[in-house]
Amino acid sequence: MQHDKEAKNGSTQENGIMTGSRNIVDEITGHRRMRRNRKADWTRRLVQENRLTVDDLIWPVFVVPGENVVDPVAAMPGVNRMSVDRLVEAAKEAADLGIPAIATFPNIEMHLRDETGSHSLAADNLINEATRAIKKAVPGIGVITDVALDPFTSHGHDGVLRGDVIVNDETVELVARAAVVQADAGSDIIAPSEMMDGRIGVIRQALDAAGHQNVGIMSYATKFASAFYGPYRDAIGTGGLLKGDKKTYYIDPANGTEAIRDAALDVEEGADMLMVKPGLPYLDICWRMKEAFGLPVFAYQVSGEYSQIKAAAMNGWIDGERVMLETLLAFKRAGCDGILTYFAMDVARHLDRKG
Ligand code: PBG
């Protein structure tokens, strides 16, 4: 790209310097021009403020029972549910690419789901089996486990349903016990997504009482009652089950200040890391959380966000790879320390190719 020659227009070199040529844009900008720093690839690289690296990625994965199962999720092109053996292979691949951590979500057999999600407490349930197998075969990758009850309940809610109420304190007691069982299985970080009040403090106490002082808590601090979770509910088989909605425990998408207050309580109760979910529609929350608390903040680019990009790309309407990278970089700009994203492997491979 050639430099602008406009500055010289309408004046000769000599009288330009001596008398000060009149250039209307220079007068307006006071000789400041933002485009000088954008003029070449090398200047752009030099002034680039944020960068996406493989260290920013957490890969959410879906686990199913069985052996040698790789089952595509229809609503999430490119995403599979995997049996533990295949998940272990995938985790190895992720670790080789440098991805720091994976987050596991189980698709539990229907006959094991009940009103209270009691199977979440079983030491040998699918999520705990997955943790054990991954930690044994790939000790270098972090395993993050959710303690919400939705994969285990017959009604698809994240907590215990009594009548038409998701009861808070009984749910907290259960998720705290499930957290200890998950930590016993080797989980490195407990990530409670069920948005019950007081859960972070109770989980912290339960983990410490069980000797799991080194197990961290990544709070789904601000989880919104969002329509972007649709494809995930298909992936873990809760979509058809869910009666009603989750508005009595997730945050209203209209409320930003309430979200910060909710996160503040989690910080007081001992959260080590905070999460914002969904991601891209809530960048303001990411920024406010980082500014307010200074704790590591992660965004969850959820299933619906992923599928939108995939669907448009498959139709040839957008450049899927560029949009993927742009959305992830936007999280960095918004102050996030990392992103849970179903694109994690694609991005890691892309960054690997770039060297
Ligand atoms: C529920 C949970 C949800 C997701 C992960 N755990 C939301 C929900 O079903 O209400 C969503 C993840 C995604 O959409 O990618 N505890």
Residue nearest to atom 10 of ligand 1 (CA): 229
> Which of 144, 229, 234 should be mutated for ligand 1, with most atoms under 8 A from CB?
229
Residue 147 has phi, psi (to 5 degrees) of -110, 5
Helix, strand, coil % over all residues of the chain, rounded to 5: 45, 15, 35
Q: Which CATH architecture describes the domain 53-354?
A: Alpha-Beta Barrel (3.20)
Examine the residue annotation and report whether 223 is marked as an active-site residue of this protein.
yes
Contacts of 154 (CB under 8 A, 6+ apart): 110, 113, 114, 115, 241
pLDDT at 243: 84
Q: Cα of 146 to ligand 1 centre, how many Å? A: 10
8 belongs to the catalytic site:
no
Does pLDDT of 1 surpass 50?
Answer: no
Q: Which of 135, 277, 290, 332 is catalytic?
A: 277
pLDDT in tens, 299-354: 999 999 999 999 999 999 999 999 999 999 999 999 999 999 999 999 999 999 98
Helix (H) or strand (E) holding 262: helix 257-269
What is the predicted pLDDT for the residue at 19?
A: 54
Q: Over 90: is that where the pLDDT of 11 sits?
A: no
Please report the pLDDT score of residue 354 as a whole number: 85
What are the domain boundaries of the chain? 6-38, 53-354
pLDDT one-digit tens code per residue, 164-196: 999 999 999 999 999 999 999 999 999 999 999
> What pLDDT, on a 0 to 100 scale, did the predictor assign at position 2?
45
Please tell me the predicted confidence (pLDDT) of residue 327. 98
Distance 353 CA to ligand 1 centre (A): 31
CA 344 to chain centre: 10
Determine the pLDDT at residue 21.
72
**Cα(229) to centroid(ligand 1), Å:** 6
Nearest ligand 1 atom, CA 193: 16
**CA 323 – ligand 1 centroid, Å:** 23
Q: Which of 8, 135, 136, 223 is catalytic?
A: 223
| Reported pTM | 0.93
Which residue ranges have their beta carbon within 6 Å of ligand 1? Answer: 146, 148, 150, 158, 193-194, 229, 232-233, 246, 302-303
